[in-house]
Amino acid sequence: MTTRVALIQLDSGNDRAANLAEIEHWVLAAAQDGAQLIITPEYSDVRGDAALLQQQASPVPGVVTEHMASLARRTGCWIQLGSMHERLADDPRLGNTSLVFNPDGQIAASYRKTHLYDAVVNGMPYLESDDFAPGAALTTVEAAGLQLGLSICYDIRFAELFRALRSRGANVLVVPAAFNVHTGRDHWEVLLRARAIENQCYVLAAAQIGGPGPALPGPQHDHRPLGHRTGLHARPARLYLRRPGPDARHHAARQAASLVAPPWRPVSHQPLSRTPDAARIPLFSHPRPARALLPGEPS
- As annotated, the active-site residues are 42, 113, 153
Start-to-end Cα distance in the chain? 35
Calpha distance 57→132 (Å, rounded): 11
Calpha distance 6→220 (Å, rounded): 10
- Residue 173 identity: L
Q: How many CB atoms lie within 10 A of CB 36?
A: 21
Ranges of beta strands (E only) in the chain are 2-7, 37-39, 78-87, 94-101, 107-112, 118-121, 124-127, 132-133, 140-143, 146-150, 172-174, 202-205, 220-223, 229-232, 237-242
Q: 257-271: buried (b, 16+ CB within 10 Å) or exposed (e) per residue?
A: eebeeeeeeeeeeee
- Residue 218 identity: G
- Give yes or no for a contact between 205 and 220, defined as CB atoms under 8 angstroms apart: yes
Q: How many CB atoms lie within 10 A of CB 139?
A: 19
Residue (of 43, 34, 36, 10) closest to 24 by Cα position: 10
Calpha distance 185→214 (Å, rounded): 12
- Chain centre distance of CA 248: 24
